Amino acid sequence: MGMVEKRLSTKTQVILTLIFIVVMALLLWWADKSFDSYKQRVLRLIGIYGIMAVSLNLINGITGIFSLGHAGFILIGAYTAAILTLTPQEKEMSYLFGIQEWVKNLHADFFTATLAAGFVAAGLAFLIGWPVLRLSGDYLAIASLGFAEIARIWANNALTITNGPLGLKAIPEYSTIWWIYGWLLFTVVFIASLVNSSYGRALKAIREDRIAAEAMGINVFKHQLMSFVVGAFFAGVSGSLYAHWLTTIDPRITTMGPMLTFYILIMIVLGGLGSITGSLIGAALFAILFEWLRDLEQPFTFFGIQVPGIPGMRILVISVIFILVMIFWQRGIMGREELTWNNLYRWLFARRKKEGERS
């Protein structure tokens, strides 16, 4: 319900948020110590998916730009960061088709590389935003999808920069829980702060009715571009984290091609287009389901029936779950609501009040 009348004071909310962050940090610290490496990988993936989902949600859900180019920005970020963190010697070893001198000599630490990944992706979004954002609706979707494919095919063919189809291997696994969740926290705080400001209201207004937004004095194109660039920055950051989680990147369709865009799209639609907390829930659900359902691809017994292992079975099951969710929650789990302290309080309070009325 848009903006709700304040029930809790700002001070209480800030304190609750800080407590929440500390509790989450303790939980992560515990997970970092006691989880096995497989569970830790999934936990880190949830964080990376979270950044991807929240940033795409800013573009698609809040501003209403139906962009399908997110994987393009992630890919650019991944390559930028990986090229920066690999040492010149390592690069010389893996580039079989030769390497350009300047690419070879680029080197930076992980944090700088991640920042650079964000800025390169944002710069690219700024450049392609000029033509792409002149379009709207389906046309914009196709154009942005086209851009992402161009980026992927470029990575496949620019042999002396990206090592072409062989990809980059032996990328150091720098993406620890702390880096990933640190960046996730920054992403969520940045985007939530933007959305809860006059600028955020303007973006939502553009989503609701761009002609009316223009008539209210909002420079629609500039605001869309701003949202696109901010979203792309965090996509680039997530690309860097993703590359240092995967440790191997290549320009195949399944790793950083349109498939990834559609996965992120599923997350944000599942969680609720336009809801930041919904995107996080969607990302976590998707990552967990995707790993958990791996068992379906092994041979198993179902009520006494032998089911052979079918590769791709989990995608089928996820699709069914997705369809069911869409039937029962048309606007995703959260809709456009946010899981804020105020809303929690309101829901709890409303329930108690109803019970009181009944008795």
Partner 1 sequence: MSEDRIAVLEEKVKKLEEKLERLESEVSKPLLILDHVTMQFGGLIAVNDFTNHVNRGELLGLIGPNGAGKTTVFNVITGIYYPTKGRIIFDGIDITPFKPHQITHLGIARTFQNIRLFYDLSVLENVLVAQHHEISNPDGDKILMMHGKPPKNTKKGWFWRAVSKLGYMWKEKEMVNRAKELIERVGLSHVMYEKASALPYGEQRKLEIARALATKPKLLLLDEPAAGMNPKETEDLMEFIKRVRDEFDVTILLIEHDMKVVMGICERIIVMDYGKIIAEGTPKEIQTNPKVIEAYLGKEWENV
Helices assigned H by DSSP within the chain: 10-34, 37-57, 70-85, 88-94, 101-105, 110-132, 137-157, 159-162, 177-195, 198-208, 210-215, 220-246, 253-256, 258-271, 276-292, 313-328, 341-358
CB of 195 to partner 1, least distance (A): 10
CB of 185 to partner 1, least distance (A): 15
Kindly state the greatest CA–CA separation across the chain: 79
| Cβ proximity to partner 1, 232 vs 243, nearer residue | 232
**Is 23 an interacting residue with respect to partner 1 (CB under 8 A)?**
no
Choosing from 35, 126, 190, 341, the residue that interacts with partner 1 (CB under 8 A) is 190
Count of positions on this chain that bind partner 1 (CB under 8 A): 32
Least CB distance from residue 173 to partner 1, whole Å? 32
Backbone angles phi, psi at 169, to 5 degrees: -115, 170
**Among residues 140 and 205, whose Cβ is nearest to partner 1?**
205
* Residues 188, 289, 265: CA angle, nearest 5 degrees: 50
Residue 135: CB atoms within 10 A of its CB come to 15
- Cβ proximity to partner 1: between 50 and 61 the closer is 61
Name residues whose C-beta falls within 8 Å of residue 294's C-beta, 6 or more positions apart in sequence. 314
Site string for partner 1, 328-357 (x = CB under 8 A): --------x---------------------
Q: How far is the CB of 108 from partner 1 (least distance, A)?
A: 25
Q: Which stretch binds partner 1 (CB under 8 A): 11-19, 118-126, 188-196, 308-316?
A: 188-196
What residues numbered 193-252 form the site for partner 1, per CB under 8 A? Answer: 193-194, 197-202, 204-205, 207-209, 211-220, 223, 226
Measure Cα distances from 236 to 129, 139, 171 in Å: 15, 24, 17
Q: Which of 70, 207 has the CB closer to partner 1?
A: 207
**CA–CA separation, 240 vs 156, rounded Å?**
18
Q: How far apart are CA 95 and CA 101, in angstroms?
A: 12
Please report, as ranges, the residues that interact with partner 1 according to CB under 8 A. 1-5, 190, 193-194, 197-202, 204-205, 207-209, 211-220, 223, 226, 336
